[in-house]
């Protein structure tokens, strides 16, 4: 392990900043026993279950044993390549300075650039960021997005800062990334995560461009940007839409239908969603649009329940105005928000934080399918309990990969400097028009204007993004199902096996493992 620290004066605030870069190689993990099961982990949390980082390692180790990949390559894949920790000051009042800590972890640079979100949350620490970076590595591999995995964040509660302060924090963090070469369209391309959005991505891009004014591709240093600044249509809803596509695809498999007793149709399915942010809201919208009944939604302070189905847009509008579900019409309020997870339903979508389903509530889950829209919502011990109960788990590293998939599309758009569909839309419409005329002449009937428009209209950018996302998710789900069937394993382990094998092919095929 090599640790490098950088110190410099900050005359404006009369304080200092510290940046620590740590390059890591493989590390040993020991195996404690929890409730009679052996788990490969280094640190456990206070509730006697593995931490988020260790949970990821546990799932990895289980798949690694049956992956057919050599131990040498596995140890290289598992260990994060590089970790950056920075501290910097922010003036919160005229006479008060707060020292903030930010992180960026490159888990695997087998492919460049690395990709992963930036979150602003009080819970951000190096372990959480490292776990999320590892998931990003495996997630990108599963959906065949040619990125390595990364993640970053700042340990703050964004609600406690003004808009001006948040901008200064974001820009200062970006300066640190620029100075340490932890950002760039060919190096590391961040994206939004918890507590951040298009606004923060625009600040990051603008700051990066000030450091690289002559880089024609600098707009591609970050994704999730506003459309006017190089973003791609469909990015906001991408993760939620990917969740919908994934659940829909798995419902079409006879093996899932047999295990759950559910039909392949989304229509009529009773769905509960924990979390009503960007992911949960859009997942709910797409499920509702296609005929499902959203009977329960959980937020930070309480949950909303209606067995006949919740009107998603009405409840969301109320939440935006009131800041809570309390007092919302046409729903029953569940004061203990975690009880939402225990509602009887067909499909449960945890779309909030990690480790929400654990030893404390795993036996109380009453869903037939759990679709992990959040990162790491189920602990390893709970995962085993749910599988023993016969519940189908659609894993996070597959199901919520819609965000990074569409981020990949945005990055490609930025590097090509052209909107998707710009060169082909009118040509497609002309060809379709000629075909329609031929059909009309032979059929002896003219189409109505609305019929003609629906057939002839060329694909807009959002249409192409949706199509690419759907194709990507369907292919990844089919690969996961195939591996699960051939090895007689659960879908999570199958997804990890696929990811490990794809990453190993890059390492071994390129000769990275043999470099000194």
Q: Which residues are annotated as a binding site for substrate?
A: 115, 139, 407
Q: Which two tokens stand for residue 395?
A: 């894993």
Burial bucket for residue 452 (CB in 10 Å: 0-12, 13-18, 19+) = middle
Which residues are annotated as part of the binding site?
115, 139, 239, 407
Give the active site residue among 78, 151, 225, 368.
151
Calculate the dihedral angle through the C-alpha atoms of 160, 162, 164, 169, rounding to the nearest 10 degrees.
0
Question: Cα–Cα distance between 378 and 55 in angstroms, integer?
Answer: 9
DSSP tag of 156: -
Residue with tokens 């470099």: 515
Question: Cα–Cα distance between 392 and 412 in angstroms, integer?
Answer: 35
Question: Cα–Cα distance between 294 and 3 in angstroms, integer?
Answer: 50
Question: Cα–Cα distance between 109 and 155 in angstroms, integer?
Answer: 25
413 is catalytic: no
Q: Within 10 A of 91 (CB to CB), how many other CB atoms are there?
A: 13
Farthest-apart Cα atoms in the chain, separation: 83
DSSP tag of 93: E
What per-residue string of b and e applies to 37-69 under the rule 16 or more CB within 10 Å gives b? eebbbbeeeeeebbbbbbbbbbbbbbbbebbeb
**113: nearest Cα among 138, 139, 84, 137:** 137
Residue with tokens 């599309």: 409
The DSSP element (H or E) to which 507 belongs, if any, is helix 491-510
* CB neighbour list of residue 265: distance below 8 Å, 6 or more residues apart: 251, 291
How far is residue 41 from each of residues 24, 59, 334, 486, measured CA to CA in Å? 17, 10, 35, 28
**109: nearest Cα among 69, 84, 82, 128:** 82
The beta-strand segments (E) located in 180-241 are 188-192
* CB neighbour list of residue 507: distance below 8 Å, 6 or more residues apart: 73, 76, 77, 110, 513
| Residues designated catalytic | 151
């Amino acid at each position: 392990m090599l640790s490098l620290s950088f110190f410099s004066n900050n005359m404006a605030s009369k304080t200092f900043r510290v940046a620590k870069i740590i390059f890591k190689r493989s590390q040993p993990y020991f195996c404690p026993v929890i409730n009679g099961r052996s788990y490969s982990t280094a640190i456990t949390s206070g509730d006697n279950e593995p931490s988020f980082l260790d949970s990821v390692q546990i799932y990895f180790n289980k798949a690694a044993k049956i992956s057919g990949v050599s131990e040498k390559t596995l140890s290289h894949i598992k260990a994060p390549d590089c970790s950056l920790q920075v501290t910097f000051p922010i003036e919160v009042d005229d006479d008060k300075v707060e020292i903030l800590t930010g992180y960026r972890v490159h888990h695997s640079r087998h492919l460049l650039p690395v990709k992963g979100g930036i979150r602003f949350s009080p819970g951000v620490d190096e372990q959480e960021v490292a776990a999320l970076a590892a998931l990003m590595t495996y997630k990108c591999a599963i959906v065949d997005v040619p990125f390595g995995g990364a993640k970053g964040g700042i340990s703050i509660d964004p609600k406690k800062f003004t808009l001006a302060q948040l901008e200064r924090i974001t820009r200062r963090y970006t300066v640190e990334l620029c100075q340490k070469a932890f950002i760039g369209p060919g190096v590391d391309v961040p994206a939004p995560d918890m507590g951040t959005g298009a606004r923060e991505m625009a600040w990051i891009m603008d700051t990066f461009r000030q450091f690289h004014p002559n880089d024609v591709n600098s707009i591609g240093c970050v994704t999730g940007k506003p459309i006017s600044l190089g973003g791609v249509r469909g990015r906001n809803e991408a993760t939620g839409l990917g969740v919908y596509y994934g659940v829909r695809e798995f419902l079409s498999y006879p093996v899932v239908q047999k295990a759950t007793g559910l039909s392949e149709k989304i229509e009529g399915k009773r769905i509960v969603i924990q979390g009503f942010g960007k992911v949960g809201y859009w997942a709910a919208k797409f499920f509702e649009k296609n005929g499902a009944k959203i009977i329960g939604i959980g937020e930070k302070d309480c949950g909303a329940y209606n067995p006949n189905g919740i009107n998603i847009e009405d409840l969301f509008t109320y939440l935006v105005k009131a800041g809570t579900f309390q007092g919302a019409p046409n729903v029953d309020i569940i004061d203990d928000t975690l009880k939402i997870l225990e509602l009887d339903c067909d499909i449960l979508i945890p779309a909030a934080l990690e480790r929400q389903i654990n030893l404390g509530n795993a036996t109380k889950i009453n869903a037939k399918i759990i679709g992990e829209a959040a990162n790491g919502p189920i602990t390893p011990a709970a995962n085993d309990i749910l599988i023993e109960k016969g519940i189908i788990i659609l894993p996070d590293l597959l199901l919520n990969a819609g965000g990074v998939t569409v981020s990949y599309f945005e990055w490609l758009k930025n590097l090509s400097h052209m909107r998707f569909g710009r060169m082909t839309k009118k040509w497609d419409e002309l060809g379709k028009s000629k075909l329609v005329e031929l059909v009309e002449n032979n059929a002896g009937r003219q189409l109505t204007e609305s019929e003609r428009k629906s057939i002839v209209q060329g694909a807009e950018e959002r249409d192409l993004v949706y199509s690419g996302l759907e194709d990507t998710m369907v292919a990844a789900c089919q690969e996961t199902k195939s591996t699960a069937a051939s090895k007689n394993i659960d879908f999570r382990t199958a997804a990890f096996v696929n990811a490990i094998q794809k990453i190993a092919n890059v390492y071994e095929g390129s000769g990275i493992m043999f470099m000194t």
